[in-house]
Structure 1
Amino acid sequence: MVIIGAGPAGLTASYELGKLSQSHSAIVLEESGHVGGIARTETYKGFRFDIGGHRFFTKVKEVEELWHTVCQDDFLLRPRLSRIFYRGKFYDYPLRALNALRNVGVYETVRIILSYLKWQVRPHRVEENFEQWVMNRFGGRLFQHFFRSYTEKVWGIPCAEIRADWAEQRIKSLSLKEAALSTLTGKSNSTSLIEEFHYPRLGPGMMWEKFRDRVRAFGHEVRMNNRVVRIVHGDAKVEAVEVLHETEAGFSTYMLEADHFISSMPISDLVRAMDPPPPLAVRKAAKHLKYRDFLIVVLILDHPDPFADNWIYVHSPEQRVGRIQNFRAWSPDLVPDPAKASIGMEYFCNAGSELWDMADADLIALAGQELAQLGLAREGSVVDGTVIRQPRAYPVYDRDYSQALATIRDWIGGFENLQVIGRNGMHRYNNQDHSMLTAMLAVRNIMGEQHDLWEVNVERSYHEEFEVSHKHPKAALAAE
């Protein structure tokens, strides 16, 4: 088997194959020099940092057990503390009644409640976009306060151009009622409102490095700096991939044949790599799939942690930063010097934009200024820093994506031995556990089961049935 990509999805697929079958082998091809994809851990002068903020929390019991099995005692249970900065004030997140009331005032609180009631009585009849979806559940006032500015900062497009699918994907279980109950009871079933989570001691990359070692122990290969540049197919089957291998001596290419192929590479790249090329409609569809890029500026401060939060969401449009991480709050072992702090300033942008192309020194200066503007550190406290740019971090759910993805999905579905998994492999903004679940089910399909990977993350019941479905797949699918 050939597995394209050594992120959470690709490595899980290799692990699952090794666990289920000793007669099958896998070769994992990773184009970069590290495993974990966007869930990797970067290092700078002994400081470790998580480039996207990866909580390990799931309702899928089998995924949770796998995390504990692989990471063992290095899997820490960490408290969650996060806030929202908006209009010069900090709001607890999840929103807490007294804190929110004190910040917005009695008058605005009444307006928020009345707005919520209004949209409960007269909701949008059709929920095509993110704005309509949120208003129907939270009301117009809360949408204006706590959803519009941050969402548009993250995606760079108006909320009315973001499909409702994205809300279904990311905040399906969250409602105003759920938030209120969480405030009163301290308990919640929503992943957006959890109060603690697990986290690898040395960052998320530690998990995927351990996965890499486990799959190699199964006898599988994980080849780094090996990029798939061509996928040869015929008669509804993929026959081989052409791989570009980078070494210190230069570049070389080779062909690799297999009976089964699992891909977590961006699905638009997969379409472009197909030989012979797909039909014109499929190629055009691939051009319509867009991504949002991301960079993180890590600031080293000359004093200990300036705030206790894991992260802070910056809704205010006056600052360009979208989210701020305090890495010691994730794990003390990420920061080697107790007299210093390591702060991650996350900026959402597009490759080739003014922000993306800004020199590292200027980005570090900008991030330091904005940290001081927010009152989170004093001016002049930044003593060092580094910048990491992550292209294609988030699949965009714009007006064109759904039809384009459906066209590609239908065409790929015609291949007997090719499956796509993971975030970019399926152009789906999912979490690590969802990527892992698609990988597990893809391998089980090869073992003879029948799972529709495109239904994963769509219906929560699929998660609830997972432990049954791998034993009785037909019954579980019928329940869908």
Structure 2
Amino acid sequence: MEPQIKNPLIIGAGPAGLTAALELAKRGVTSRIYEASGNVGGLARTQSNGDFLVDSGGHRFFTRYEKVAELWNSLLPPDQWTTVRRRSAMVVHGHYVRYPLVGRDLLTQMGFRRGMRGLGSFLWSRTRRGMQPAGDSASFRAWGTEEFGRYWYEMFFDGYVRKTWQADPDGIASDWANQRIRSIVWHLRKRFDAADQDVFRYPRRGPGQVWDAAAAQLAVDGIVPALSSRVVKVRFDGQEWTLELHSGELVSGDVVFSSMPLRSLVRALEPTPPQHVRAAAARLKYRGLITVAVALRGRHDIPFHWIYTPSKSVEVGRIQNYDRWSSGLAPDGWDGTFLGLEYFIGPDGDVYEHDDEHLTCIALEDLRTLGIGDSDVEQVMVVRSPFAYPICDAARDRNVARIRNYLLRNYPTLRLVGRNGMHRYDNQDHAMLSAMHSVAQYFGDDVDPWQVNTDRGYHEAGLLKKEVGL
């Protein structure tokens, strides 16, 4: 018999939480949403400072799932979407080297000697690959050395991964890399550009435009997310759930869809889970993200959306060129340069450790080192995102499985959704699909949210017909 949800509670108003609320509303069920921050959208929010808009992390709207594309299309009209061909580069030895890496560039762009050394290392790794494949359990270093050869791995990826993950590559699992890092493109055609194969959509006013629209749609049904409402306790008496907010307010319901960080959820649960479950949760780690958005009055012709910076000479891990994402992120008529410098904070760090002035100094020094300069700064905006990314260390799968199995056995009306809720390094569309499947599963459909994003070869490239309105 299909369960009857009467009073669902949703923790978190990011893509997963809002999608869960929309799916419940389609079934005629009114939910209540509690969000710790002052915004909807989670990491995919859009922060503003006047007419300058900041996308923290860079959110490409790409999916292979028609249900997700249909939801996006229902939230924003066609004139609010742009179609973008991604162009990315890595700054190495003063060169902007296209990413995904192209064999022709590697052999010619940085000189004959470096090209031949890299090729020799690459061929040696491929010779050994047949005998000793790295496999799914390999560390990132082992995977990267096998995939690119030691020379090109160390040139392009070792330093970048150390910055973004704030960890030694030997201690990071490689499974996420199969989806996030592209192989070298060996094409002889001079005009070949990998960006031609990497197309995505983007909201004209940034990713938060979609989630503000989702919140507005929910409001029509009387569902208004409670912002700045951090959940500190999650209690279950065998029949009913009670959430305690940081304000002391108590709210009750019959099912909980949680996208709060899984480690925090386990800590908040009452009755207290057994020691082995709490220990597994304590071992889950997260990275924070600080985006320092700098508007320069001068025009710098940077033909890339993302610029990766593996060099130790700068602290920034990646730079977004907002001009290339959408002209709507800057004021009308803006003819300057608008950049977002991304700084990644390790599991033991605090995104609030340094004030805005200190972070601004670091960002401007990095711009000088990279040759962009800072003499014509219009304004600077700092956006902090704690718990931005779950860390995929070697013990992640085992710890998550232990927690998941315990919760399934003891709390069938507690459903985990989204990147942080499931502690998975998912894309935005995967987080949404996990919420769709979680709601559907609770109503008896034969779907499993834990089977979302299990394709090791998944890459963001190309558009569904439904995405372009065909």
Cα offsets for 1:333-369 (capped at 9, x unmatched): 1111514332111111237759852331122122112
- Residues 335, 341 of structure 1: 8 Å contact kept: no
CA distance in 2, matches of 1:340, 1:11: 35
1:144 maps to 154
Q: How does 1:56-455 map to 2 (within 5 A)?
A: 56-72=61-77, 73-123=79-129, 124-127=132-135, 128-171=138-181, 174-176=182-184, 179-180=185-186, 186=192, 194-235=197-238, 239-244=240-245, 251-258=247-254, 260-336=255-331, 338-350=334-346, 353=349, 357-376=353-372, 378-414=373-409, 415-455=411-451
Secondary structure of residue in 2 paired with 1:231: strand
1:55 maps to 60
1:457 maps to 453
- Residues 169, 458 of structure 1: 8 Å contact kept: no
Q: Which one-letter code corresponds to 2:183 in the other structure?
A: S
CA distance in 1, matches of 2:13, 2:176: 25
Q: Which one-letter code corresponds to 2:73 in the other structure?
A: H
CA distance in 2, matches of 1:270, 1:25: 23
Seen in structure 2, the aligned counterparts of structure 1 residues 367 and 187 have a Cα distance that, compared at 3 Å, is: closer
CA distance in 1, matches of 2:69, 2:299: 33
- 1:169 CA displacement: 4.8
- 1:182 CA displacement: 10
- Residues 441, 448 of structure 2: 8 Å contact kept: no
Secondary structure of residue in 2 paired with 1:424: helix
CA distance in 1, matches of 2:424, 2:177: 12
- Residues 53, 205 of structure 2: 8 Å contact kept: yes
Seen in structure 2, the aligned counterparts of structure 1 residues 462 and 399 have a Cα distance that, compared at 3 Å, is: closer
Cα offsets for 1:83-138 (capped at 9, x unmatched): 11012211112223443333232333333333233222323445421112223332
TM-score (norm 2): 0.88
Identical-residue share of aligned pairs (%): 37
Secondary structure of residue in 2 paired with 1:278: coil
Q: How does 1:13-52 map to 2 (within 5 A)?
A: 13-19=20-26, 21-22=27-28, 24-52=29-57
Seen in structure 2, the aligned counterparts of structure 1 residues 435 and 315 have a Cα distance that, compared at 3 Å, is: same
Seen in structure 2, the aligned counterparts of structure 1 residues 462 and 50 have a Cα distance that, compared at 3 Å, is: closer
More divergent stretch after superposition (212-221 vs 406-415) = 212-221
- Residues 94, 193 of structure 1: 8 Å contact kept: no
- 1:272 CA displacement: 0.7
- Residues 305, 326 of structure 1: 8 Å contact kept: no
CA distance in 1, matches of 2:196, 2:101: 9
Q: Which one-letter code corresponds to 1:16 in the other structure?
A: E
- Residues 172, 392 of structure 2: 8 Å contact kept: yes
Secondary structure of residue in 2 paired with 1:104: coil
Q: Which has the higher contact order (CA 8 A, sep 6+)?
A: 2
Q: Which one-letter code corresponds to 2:99 in the other structure?
A: Y
- 1:210 CA displacement: 0.6
More divergent stretch after superposition (420-429 vs 220-229) = 220-229
- 1:167 CA displacement: 1.9
CA distance in 1, matches of 2:125, 2:428: 34
Q: Calculate the aligned-residue CA RMSD, in Å.
A: 2.5
- 1:252 CA displacement: 4.1
2:16 maps to 9
Secondary structure of residue in 2 paired with 1:423: helix
Seen in structure 2, the aligned counterparts of structure 1 residues 462 and 326 have a Cα distance that, compared at 3 Å, is: closer
Structure 2 residues not aligned, in runs of 5+? 1-7, 460-470
Secondary structure of residue in 2 paired with 1:109: helix
Q: Could you say which structure has the higher helix fraction?
A: 1
- 1:460 CA displacement: 6.4
2:462 maps to none
More divergent stretch after superposition (263-272 vs 219-228) = 219-228
- Residues 85, 196 of structure 2: 8 Å contact kept: no
Cα offsets for 1:150-203 (capped at 9, x unmatched): 1111111111110122324534xx333xx2259778587xxx984332111111
More divergent stretch after superposition (300-309 vs 420-429) = 300-309
Secondary structure of residue in 2 paired with 1:269: helix
Q: Which one-letter code corresponds to 1:435 in the other structure?
A: A
1:478 maps to none
Structure 1 residues not aligned, in runs of 5+? 246-250, 464-480
CA distance in 1, matches of 2:204, 2:149: 40
